[in-house]
Amino acid sequence: MPKHVARFLINICALLCMSLLLCACTPQQTSPKDLERHTASTTNKTIVDASEYSSFWIWGNISSATYLQQAKELYILQGEINWNRAQKRSYFSPQGISILKKTNQNIWLVVRSHHLNWSTENIQQIIQRLQQWESQDNQIQGLQIYFDVRTQNIQQYAEFLAKFRQHLPKHYRLSITGLLDWTNVRDQSTLALLRQNIEEIAIQTYQGSTTIPNYASYLAKISQLKLPYKIGVVQHGKWQAPPHLTNDRNFKGYIVFLLRHPN
């Protein structure tokens, strides 16, 4: 082989080796999705995607979606308990969607209360609402009471729940919503009353349509309540599950609050 041809081949081999070395040392280009996942991991936050959950709060006319058809559990607002100052009486205001027929999901009816002075008529109206949904072949689990009581007044609320439970037919379960600050409750008599009379508490980690920033510090204390609980998150809100939930036997899953007009 002529010397000039051999020298040419040697140079080509050197260039090829250099190219391979550069490729090995150069980082691969990050795709937009990989960058998004990296950002979510770095900020320790992810966004609540309703399609990844199976339990939802419905507080109005929510646009139909595939994830609703596949849902296992729905918490449906059906009214509010208000107080008429002029007449000095409590009254029930029906709200929410009309009664559905033969749904495949487990259904909880939700009543939002602004006070604890319920009348006998109020209780009868709520029980009648449960029975009306049940008469349409729906899988009614029970009632959830939405009441934002202050932490220092939880004992009074627990006593109210104990009295109400006596009126509620036994085959209906009782659920309540709770604020993050309730994780600070340590009074054992209050907690005992709650354990005796409710099947679950749904702790809300959001306010309006926004996740409360320091929710993790509250949830770190929730296991001390020794109550069956679910965690309420808001659609499109920021959320990163605290690691301890995996080993908490009282943790029963999530409920997503659906926004009426999600962007």
Give me the mean pLDDT over the 51-79 stretch. Answer: 91
Q: Are 94 and 58 in contact (CB under 8 A)?
A: no
| Alpha helices per DSSP H over 44-112 | 66-69
Just give the CATH number of 44-257.
3.20.20.80
- Running DSSP on this structure, what letter comes out for residue 193? H
Q: Dump pLDDT digits (tens) for 219-250.
A: 999 999 999 999 999 999 999 999 999 999 99
Please say whether the beta carbons of 203 and 232 come within 8 A. Answer: yes
- Is 205 in contact with 230 (CB distance < 8 Å)? no
Reported as a pLDDT band with limits 50, 70 and 90, residue 18 is: very low
The overall average pLDDT reported for the chain is 85
Rounded to the nearest angstrom, the gap between the alpha carbon of residue 81 and the centroid of all alpha carbons in its chain is 23
CB 47 within 8 A of CB 238: yes
- pLDDT tens digits for 85-111? 999 999 999 999 999 999 999 999 999
Beta bridge partners of 176: 145, 201
Which pLDDT band, with edges at 50, 70 and 90, does 11 fall under?
A: very low
CB-CB neighbours of 86 under 10 Å? 5
Picking from 228, 148, 159, the residue whose alpha carbon sits closest to that of residue 187 is 159
Interior CA angle at 225 toward 210 and 145, to 5°?
Answer: 55
Structure tokens at 182: 């309730």
User: How confident is residue 36, by pLDDT bands cut at 50, 70 and 90?
Assistant: very low
Does the pTM surpass 0.75? The reply is yes
pLDDT 10s digits, 168-200: 999 999 999 999 999 999 999 999 999 999 999
Domain ranges for the chain = 44-257
- The helix/strand/coil state of 185 is coil
